[in-house]
Amino acid sequence: MRVLTWRTPQTVAVAVPAASFPVSVYPYSDRAANGVSEPGCPAPTGLSPSKDTLTRDAAARQIDALSESKYSALSVTDTTMWPNVILHQVGAVGTVSPSRLIVQREAASDVSVTKKCGSFITSATWVVEACPALKGTTGTSSCTRDPALVGYFYFVKRSGHWLITFVYG
């Protein structure tokens, strides 16, 4: 059993089976545990600017898992997200249609939250915009029409696994 603890803003402990949550995929940053690192900044361990493209289908499956059990949500998120998962601060968004997702490298997007994490993390991060299903819109047209309703999900690929590192919107 692995036990990870964060001390800020309140103490949060997460116990997960070591075999299901290996350190190579889910590294624990002492800086994050002590509240030193920036929120949403994943540990650089095992990351590399991915040559693989995050597909809409893969992103939708990961986002959908946030609405399932805590175990499922932990399995698709980086450890930087775990305190939010445990404290129920990650909204259950329900089923997401891949056709309503815009997927691009964060470095190429207009919406960057990892610049504070350094250029290496930014180059390894993908941003997914989840466009709302609104009357009179199809596909991603609602992202342009109503940008305040867009959900943003940040992903990295570590040791062959896509993980959500940050959510807002």
Please, which pLDDT band fits residue 127 given cuts at 50, 70 and 90? very high
Q: Is 121 helix (H, G, I), strand (E, B) or coil?
A: helix
Domain boundaries, the chain: 2-168
Residue 30 has pLDDT above 60, yes or no: no
Judge whether 154 and 38 are in contact, CB under 8 Å: no
Q: Please tell me the pTM assigned to this model.
A: 0.89
> Distance between CA atoms of 108 and 110, rounded to whole angstroms?
7
> Distance between CA atoms of 135 and 168, rounded to whole angstroms?
23
Tell me the average pLDDT across 101-119: 82
At 100, the amino acid letter reads R
Residue 87 has pLDDT above 90, yes or no: no
Higher pLDDT: 134 or 79? It is 79
Judge whether 151 and 64 are in contact, CB under 8 Å: no
What is the C-alpha R_g of the chain?
16
Alpha helices in 24-90 (DSSP H): 30-33, 56-65, 70-75, 82-86
Q: Is 77 helix (H, G, I), strand (E, B) or coil?
A: strand
pLDDT of amino acid 34? 56
The rounded percent of the chain whose pLDDT value lies above 70 is 88
